[in-house]
Amino acid sequence: MAENKVQFGIKNVHYAVATEGADDTITYATPVPFPGATALNLDPKGEQSDFYADDRVYYTSSTNSGYEGTLTVAALLQQFRVDVLGDQLGTDKVLTENADAKPKKIALLFEFDGDVKATRHALYNVTVSRPGMAGETKTETTEPGTQELSFTAAPTVTGIVKRSTTAETEAAIYDAWYTKVFEPTEVPTP
């Protein structure tokens, strides 16, 4: 199959709550759909260091500390607030944000469309910050507002930051991308 020449759009956003075991292994809950994505931005996190010798750059090293990103959505789901941000839904059906809540780490799954086939991605060690709030008055036209989530996607204890499908990804893996967080049976060594 041919590779994509371009990418566009953002869709099929899902999150899966991560649980870290005593031995630092991470297991993921079943991915939950997170509809309404309007934008996703990922900025690389890490540094490049140049070592000079012989009056030139003799050696360059770089670190991959993951990504800092934002996910803009039409509206933040109540289930996400409870599952990930630690908000509490009382028996009176009032949602309470508590200052002592500890956000949970998640895997963030999503895809960008392409001219041939959508590329599916998974970020494995994501910590989301609680979002701000904003609202605007209606005018002659009504424009829906959005909410923005800031997050950090750091490497896992084994160094995994992100995985993505390719033009050669087996159909079984591609089709099951959102049913379970992908964990390969064979992990390539750096």
User: What one-character DSSP code corresponds to residue 175?
Assistant: H
Residue at 61 is within a domain: yes
Residue at 131 is within a domain: yes
**Structural domains in the chain (count):** 1
Residue at 56 is within a domain: yes
Q: Is 10 left (phi over 0), alpha (psi -120 to 50) or beta?
A: beta
Whole-angstrom distance, CA of residue 70 vs CA of residue 149: 5
Question: Which of 8-17, 35-44, 55-64, 67-76 is the least confident region?
Answer: 55-64
Single pTM value for the model: 0.86
Residue at 164 is within a domain: yes
> Does the pLDDT at position 50 exceed 80?
yes
At residue 189, the pLDDT reads 62
Q: Which domain holds residue 16?
A: 7-175
